[in-house]
Amino acid sequence: MCQITTSIEENIIKIENERKGKAWKIPFLGNVIVMKDIAMKVLHWVHKFREIGDIAIQSDPIHAALPWAAFRFLLKVNMSCRLLRTEREI
């Protein structure tokens, strides 16, 4: 049983290392920038923007609710697609 778990763990580490090697990396000013990390930071701020927008829409829901709902829908679709891609990579 211990050999099986060790083998599984080794395979997982191997797959993770392969995925890291395939990640988009850009050298910039002597540093290596991983695009996935940048994308995750941007998505974090998109979530914050969405929360702020939800609060702002409450002040005038009659005029802003429909455009905001469309914008939120597009954000949701984009986020879902990115999460699916991230899950497939893991």
Given this model, what pLDDT does residue 87 score? 63
Given this model, what pLDDT does residue 88 score? 65
Given this model, what pLDDT does residue 72 score? 82
Give pTM, 2 decimals: 0.49
| Region for 13 from its dihedrals, namely left if φ exceeds 0, alpha if ψ lies in -120 to 50, beta otherwise | alpha
Angle between helices 61-89 and 35-57 (to 10 degrees): 160
User: What residue segments make up the domains of the chain, in order of their start?
Assistant: 2-89
Per-residue pLDDT of the chain (90 residues; tens, 9 = 90+): 456 666 777 777 777 777 666 667 788 888 888 777 777 788 788 778 878 888 887 887 788 888 888 888 887 887 777 777 766 665
